[in-house]
Amino acid sequence: MLRRMTATTTSSRLRTEVPGPESRALHQRRTSAVAAGVGSVLPAYVTSANGGLLTDADGNTLIDLGSGIAVTNVGHAAPAVVERVREQAERFTHTCFMVTPYEGYVEVCETLNQLTPGDHEKRSVLFNSGAEAVENAVKIARVATGRQAVVVFDHAYHGRTNLTMALTAKSVPYKHGFGPFAPEVYRVPGSYPCHDGLTGEQAAAAAIDRIEKQLGGDSVAAVVIEPIQGEGGFIEPAPGFLSALSRWCTANGAVFVADEVQTGFCRTGAWFACEHEDVVPDLVATAKGIAGGLPLAAVTGRAELMDAVPPGGLGGTYGGNPIACAAGLGAIETMRTENLADAARSIGDMVLPRLRALAEETGVIGDVRGRGAMLAVEFVRPGTHEPDPDITKRIATACHAAGVVVLTCGTYGNVVRLLPPLTLPADLLDEGLSALETATREEATR
């Protein structure tokens, strides 16, 4: 982490090594104040951010290829977000929608009902985090169906609350030691084309067979799925997988819940990733990119399912906070006026060929994949499918030292993921990508 800059990583954007002395001093203070259980990928302490650049306490400017985990799709201080937040904060900061409501909440719900896939009658309810949205989608599906079982997939990530830990696949660090977990959760195989070699139909048939053997179709309340898996490794299922599962849900009276927390809001080149497969989910959970960084989340879905929960059954003190709603409306306005779905596709068009060339050249990359601006490189031992988490870590660390924020992911920790703000200027994207190329070349030839 504290590696000195080398000739290849020197940049006019860096004044010190990253993290520099000011950040290291803050980090020291942090260790005696902040619980050790909260990690930081790159402990360079940020003082301001805009235009795809994070400025740290030492005056270094870092290129952001992570967007705070797919959150700042519209940038770190989009004018429409900042202006609406300022205006709302001056009027009032909170009343609690469950006590005395306000228009912003209603307008966010109207907007989500219109933007999410399908033209059926919809309702929405607002929360603070992705985990809360997923958990509430399950609550709604259980009430609406009168059933309890929830089906989830290998490599799934749905959050850190008790129920969503149960829905999440990976033990360390998300679940280890935190049990017991919520019951009535059943895990089945997903679709991981570069590893299982199955078509979408074959993978879905295997999953459905497992569901029917373990449970029988008539006891499933919900199938909860990320249309492209996020933390699990940016795994895009083979074509036909999602639609086969969605058809199975319809035929069996189960609720198809799309967890679009990471994939939503133009990230993959469409408003929602389900659109790439023409899948219309019964319920959609959203969060992350929804409000330019303010805590906001939602469940949106079929009116008859959503309205099955009686008044008082859903809510929370802060859910749909007025400032978060104002930010959400500003973020969605920005996505519309700046055509950020197109911008996401342009990012993919620029990055994917370069990553594929890098794979060809270096031999340490087992798969390059992604849609729009949700892109991933999977590192393997040369000539095998064996995950190589060590090289992945070294490459990420070298990017950080060069002032480029990249994140890793994957069940085996062997995936570097790229999630740039959709507003990132092309020259910064190019510079960030060059750092990843340089680091990969250096590590591949070590």
Where along the sequence are the contacts to ligand PLP (CB under 6 A)? 129-131, 134, 157-159, 226, 230-231, 259, 261-262, 287-288
Question: Which residues partner with 48 through β-bridges?
Answer: 55
391: closest CA among 403, 401, 383, 382?
A: 382
Which lies closer to ligand PLP via its Cβ, residue 131 or residue 396?
131
Which lies closer to ligand PLP via its Cβ, residue 157 or residue 256?
157
Collapsing DSSP to helix, strand or coil, 167 comes out as: helix
Query: At a CB cut-off of 8 Å and minimum separation 6, what does 212 contact?
Result: none
Distance from C-alpha of 305 to C-alpha of 139, rounded to nearest angstrom: 11
Shortest gap between Cβ of 375 and ligand PLP (angstroms)?
15
Which lies closer to ligand PLP via its Cβ, residue 17 or residue 259?
259
Shortest gap between Cβ of 295 and ligand PLP (angstroms)?
8
Shortest gap between Cβ of 353 and ligand PLP (angstroms)?
27
Which lies closer to ligand PLP via its Cβ, residue 122 or residue 158?
158
Collapsing DSSP to helix, strand or coil, 283 comes out as: strand
The structure tokens 């997988």 sit at 241
> What is residue 48's DSSP assignment?
E
Q: Residue number with the shortest CB distance to ligand PLP?
A: 130
Shortest gap between Cβ of 32 and ligand PLP (angstroms)?
26
Shortest gap between Cβ of 230 and ligand PLP (angstroms)?
4
Shortest gap between Cβ of 329 and ligand PLP (angstroms)?
19
Which lies closer to ligand PLP via its Cβ, residue 159 or residue 410?
159
58: closest CA among 19, 92, 95?
A: 19
Distance from C-alpha of 438 to C-alpha of 393, rounded to nearest angstrom: 15
Shortest gap between Cβ of 232 and ligand PLP (angstroms)?
9
Amino acid sitting at position 96: C
Collapsing DSSP to helix, strand or coil, 54 comes out as: strand
β pairing state of 407-409 and 415-418:
antiparallel
Which lies closer to ligand PLP via its Cβ, residue 263 or residue 334?
263
Which lies closer to ligand PLP via its Cβ, residue 230 or residue 403?
230
Q: Do residues 245 and 239 make contact, with C-beta atoms less than 8 angstroms apart?
A: no
